[in-house]
Amino acid sequence: MITFLFFLLRIAPGDPSQKFISPDLSPRLAAIVRQSFDLNNSLFDQYKTFVFNIVKGDFGISYTYRVPVIEVIRQFLPFTVIFSLISFSIQISAGFLLAMFAVKRINGPGDKIISRTSIIVYALPSFVIGVALIFIFSGLLNIFPSSGLSSFDFDSYSFFEKAADYARHMVLPVITLSLGGIAVYFKYLRDSLEDAYNKSFVENLRANGFKESEIIKKHVIPNAVSPLIAVAGVELGLQFGGALITEVIFALPGMGRLTVNAILNRDYPLVIGCTFISGLLIIITNLAADLLKAKMDKRIVKEILN
Amino acid sequence: MRNKYLLSILLLFIIIFLPSCNKQVPVGQNRVVVAISSDIESTNPLFAFTIDEGTISELLYLSLVQHDWNYETGNMTTSPSLAKSWDWNKDSSSITLNLRDDVKWTDGLLVTARDVVFSFDVYSDPLVQSKLYGSFKDFYTDTAMHVDLKKTFDVINPYKLTINFKKHSASSFYDIDFPIIPEHIYKNASRKDLVTAEKELKPVTDGPFELASWNKNQSIILTANKKSFLYNSEDIDELIFKIVPDYYSQLTQLKQGEIDFMQDIRADDYPLLKREDNLILTALKGREYDYIGWNNLDPGVYKKSKKIISNKLFGNPAVRIALTYAINRGEILHEFLNNHGEAAIGPMAPIFSSAVDTSLKPLPYSPDKAKQLLASTGWKENKSTSTLEKNGIGFSFTLYIPSGNPRREFAATVIQNNLREIGIKMDIEKLEPEVFFQKMYAREFDAWMAGWSVSIPPDLKQFWYSKLEDAPLNVAGYQNKAADKILDEIESTRSEKLQDELYIKLQDIIYKDNPVTFLYWIDNLMAYNKRIKNFKLTPLGPFHRCWEWSVK
pLDDT on residue A281:
87
pLDDT on residue B21:
46
> Which 3-state string (H, E, C) describes chain A?
CHHHHHHHHHHCCCCCCHHHCCCCCCHHHHHHHHHCCCCCCCHHHHHHHHHHHHHCCCCCECCCCCCEHHHHHHHHHHHHHHHHHHHHHHHHHHHHHHHHHHHHCCCCHHHHHHHHHHHHHHHCCHHHHHHHHHHHHHHHCCCCCCCCCCCCCHHHCCHHHHHHHHHHHHHHHHHHHHHHHHHHHHHHHHHHHHHHHHCHHHHHHHHCCCCHHHHHHHHHHHHHHHHHHHHHHHHHHHHHCCCHHHHHHCCCCCHHHHHHHHHHCCCHHHHHHHHHHHHHHHHHHHHHHHHHHHHHCHHHHHHHHC
Of B243, B432, B437, nearest to A18 by CB-CB distance is B437
pLDDT on residue A292:
84
Of B23, B47, B249, nearest to A147 by CB-CB distance is B249
pLDDT on residue B36:
94
pLDDT on residue B25:
43
Spacing of C-alpha B256 from chain mean position: 29
- A138 contacts on B by Cβ (under 8 Å): 252, 256
Distance CA B227, CA B104 (A): 8
B235-294: per-residue pLDDT in tens? 999 999 999 988 888 998 898 888 999 999 999 899 889 999 999 999 988 789 999 999
Q: What is the mean pLDDT of residues B79-87?
A: 94
Q: What is the mean pLDDT of residues B24-41?
A: 78
B485-530: per-residue pLDDT in tens? 999 999 888 788 899 999 999 999 999 999 999 999 999 999 999 9
Question: Per the CB < 8 Å rule, is B217 touching A253?
Answer: yes
Interface confidence, given as ipTM, is 0.72
Distance CA B183, CA B112 (A): 9
- B195 contacts on A by Cβ (under 8 Å): 66
Residue B22 pLDDT > 50: no
Torsion, Cα B382 B384 B385 B388, to 10 degrees, reads: 10
Question: Per the CB < 8 Å rule, is A29 touching B145?
Answer: yes
pLDDT on residue B24:
41
Q: Which residue of B has its CA nearest to A253?
A: B217
What share of chain B has pLDDT > 90, as a percent?
Answer: 61
Residue B26 pLDDT > 60: no
pLDDT on residue B334:
93
pLDDT on residue B324:
96
Question: Per the CB < 8 Å rule, is B243 touching A251?
Answer: yes
pLDDT on residue B72:
80
Q: Which residue of B has its CA nearest to A135?
A: B252
Shortest CA gap A149–chain B (Å): 7
Residue B222's closest CA among B83, B61, B103?
B61
Average pLDDT of the residues of chain B: 89
Of B1, B25, B252, nearest to A134 by CB-CB distance is B252
B105-117: per-residue pLDDT in tens? 999 999 999 999 9
Question: Per the CB < 8 Å rule, is A248 touching B256?
Answer: no
pLDDT on residue B17:
52
Shortest CA gap A64–chain B (Å): 7
Q: Which residue of B has its CA nearest to A27?
A: B469
Tens digit of pLDDT at every position of chain A (306 positions)? 777 777 777 777 666 666 566 655 666 666 666 666 666 667 777 777 777 777 777 787 787 787 788 888 988 898 898 899 999 999 989 998 998 888 888 788 888 898 899 889 888 888 889 888 988 888 888 888 888 888 888 888 888 888 898 888 999 999 999 998 899 889 888 888 888 877 778 778 878 877 777 787 777 777 777 778 878 888 888 888 778 888 888 888 889 989 988 888 888 888 888 988 888 888 888 888 888 888 777 776 777 676
Residue B104 pLDDT > 50: yes
pLDDT on residue B123:
94
Distance CA B252, CA B250 (A): 6
What share of chain B has pLDDT > 70, as a percent?
Answer: 94
Q: How confident is the model at residue B308 (pLDDT cuts 50, 70, 90)?
A: confident
Question: Per the CB < 8 Å rule, is B49 touching A171?
Answer: no
Distance CA A210, CA B93 (A): 102
Q: What is the mean pLDDT of residues B216-223?
A: 90
pTM of the model: 0.82
pLDDT on residue B27:
46
Question: Per the CB < 8 Å rule, is A146 touching B253?
Answer: yes
Question: Per the CB < 8 Å rule, is A152 touching B219?
Answer: yes
Residue type, A60: G
Question: Per the CB < 8 Å rule, is A168 touching B258?
Answer: no
Distance CA A5, CA A18 (A): 21
pLDDT on residue A275:
87
Q: How confident is the model at residue B6 (pLDDT cuts 50, 70, 90)?
A: low
Residue B427 pLDDT > 80: yes
Q: Which residue of A has its CA nearest to B42?
A: A65
Shortest CA gap A299–chain B (Å): 24
pLDDT on residue B23:
43
pLDDT on residue B14:
55
Judged by phi (left if over 0) then psi (alpha if -120 to 50, else beta), residue B145 lies in: left
Question: Per the CB < 8 Å rule, is B252 touching A135?
Answer: yes
Say if CB B516 and CB B335 are below 8 A apart.
no
Question: Per the CB < 8 Å rule, is B249 touching A26?
Answer: no
Say how many CB pairs under 8 Å bridge A and B: 159
Q: How confident is the model at residue B336 (pLDDT cuts 50, 70, 90)?
A: very high
Of A67, A100, A250, nearest to B196 by CB-CB distance is A67
B123-163: per-residue pLDDT in tens? 999 888 888 888 898 899 998 889 999 999 999 999 999 99
Say if CB B87 and CB B154 are below 8 A apart.
no
pLDDT on residue A17:
65
pLDDT on residue B140:
93
B455-464: per-residue pLDDT in tens? 888 889 989 9
Question: Per the CB < 8 Å rule, is A26 touching B49?
Answer: no
Residue B63 pLDDT > 90: yes
Distance CA B305, CA B299 (A): 10
Which are the contacts of A182, defined by CB distance < 8 A and separation ≥ 6? A90, A91, A94, A95, A98, A118, A121
Of A14, A18, A67, nearest to B199 by CB-CB distance is A67
Residue B20 pLDDT > 50: no
Question: Per the CB < 8 Å rule, is A253 touching B215?
Answer: yes
* A18, A143, A147: best to mutate for the B interface, most B CBs within 10 A: A147
